[in-house]
Amino acid sequence: MEITELRIDQHGHLQNAADWSPEVADIFAQKDGLILTEKHLEIIMAVRDIYQETGDTPPMRLLIKVLRLRLHDDIDSRYLYRLFPDGPVRYASKYAGLPKPKHCM
C-alpha cells in the first residue's frame, strides 16, 4: 500500500479511521523517519482504545495517567518522547489513524 492510496487531511492524518491498519501506521512512521517497534505499537493501540472509548485523544498528562493504569507504571513524558520525539500525543494519534487531537498545534 502506498500513502497516495490513502485519503489524508491537511495535517497528514487519515480522513477515514476505517482505513487504518498496522501497515498504514508503518507507512506514516517511515515517511516521518521513524521505525515502529512493539513499544510504539503498544502505545498506538492504547491510544486507539482510548479514542474509541472517549472520542478524543487526551492531552499529555491525562494520557500518561491512563497509559500507566492500562500498560505499566514506568510510562512518563520522557518515555513517550523517546518513542515519538516530535510530539507523543500528536504522532501516536497520527500513527493510530486518528484525527489530529484538538489540543495539539
Cell numbers at residue 58, please?
Answer: 487526551
Q: Which of 27, 34, 71, 104 is catalytic?
A: 104
Residue 14, strand partner residues: 8
| Burial bucket for residue 44 (CB in 10 Å: 0-12, 13-18, 19+) | buried
Catalytic: 104? Answer: yes
Residue-by-residue DSSP string for 13-48 = -BS-GGG--HHHHHHHHHHTT----HHHHHHHHHHH
Q: Which residues are known to be catalytic?
A: 104
